[in-house]
Amino acid sequence: MGYALDFGWLNGAIGMIASGAVMTVFLIVVTSIAGTLLSIFGAIGRRSRHAILRKLVAGYVELIRNTPFLVQLFFIFFGLPRFGIRLDPVTAAILAMTLNMAAYSTEIVGAGLDAVPKGQSEAAKALGLRPRTIFIKIILPQALKVIFPALTSQIVIMMLESAVVSQIAVRELTYEADMLQARTFRAFETYFVVTLVYLGLSIALRKLLYTAGRRSIAGGMA
């Protein structure tokens, strides 16, 4: 077996890998925030009095959850221009990721809202608080506290799925790996290193969200 692993290229490649990782982190930060916000609206819509709104949200959730992310991405990037909607790769990626994540977290947030005892909002209503204040100040913080672990997992899953946005030429971690690989002809070593970077990112992301979640949600807001 004449093959010897060669990591000699790595020195010159650290810059590319780092810039790819920065893009991956950027994508997931924007997506997490936008996706969580959207899913709060989704969960409210799902519990709306209006049947049309309920059906609409349910349809969106089912559509996204039952088709692959890659197909959604291709559809948004290559298919939507037919209606004059042209998004640059990064915007298309953020839109696809946000829509995808929100479909999953709509269910998660909804479960959290349902977990808050009814008595809470009734008590608040008795105190004369407006419905919106009750929702933002009382219900939502408690719901988020319950669902934070599930939300964290969903964010990590989304970060890992974001590897496929390299397919529409977003210059994130996988894209840079593909570029390096085409230049060095060292496919295995390149993907090995980048996989480790992903592993590091997902461990760090989980830790970060866990500590942040414990501090701000369990401590401060509730």
| Interface contacts to other proteins, rule CB under 8 A | 1-3, 5, 62-63, 65-72, 74-75, 77-79, 81-82, 86, 88-89, 156, 160-164, 166-169, 174-175, 177-179, 181-182, 185, 187-188, 191-192, 194-195, 198-199, 202-203
Least Å distance, CB 116 to other proteins, is: 17
Asked whether 93 and 162 are in contact (CB, 8 A), the reply is: yes
Q: Which residues fall within 8 angstroms of residue 194, CB to CB, at 6 or more apart?
A: 17, 20, 173, 174, 176, 177
Query: Which CB sits closer to other proteins, 41 or 78?
Result: 78
Least Å distance, CB 214 to other proteins, is: 21
Phi, psi of 139 (to 5 degrees): -70, -55
For the chain, how long is the longest CA-to-CA vector?
79
Query: Which CB sits closer to other proteins, 53 or 70?
Result: 70
Least Å distance, CB 216 to other proteins, is: 24
Owner of token pair 């998660």: 108
Query: Which CB sits closer to other proteins, 134 or 165?
Result: 165
Asked whether 206 and 216 are in contact (CB, 8 A), the reply is: no
The span from the CA of 156 to the CA of 48, in Å, is: 29
The DSSP call for residue 216 is I
Query: Which CB sits closer to other proteins, 135 or 191?
Result: 191
Least Å distance, CB 64 to other proteins, is: 10
Least Å distance, CB 40 to other proteins, is: 22
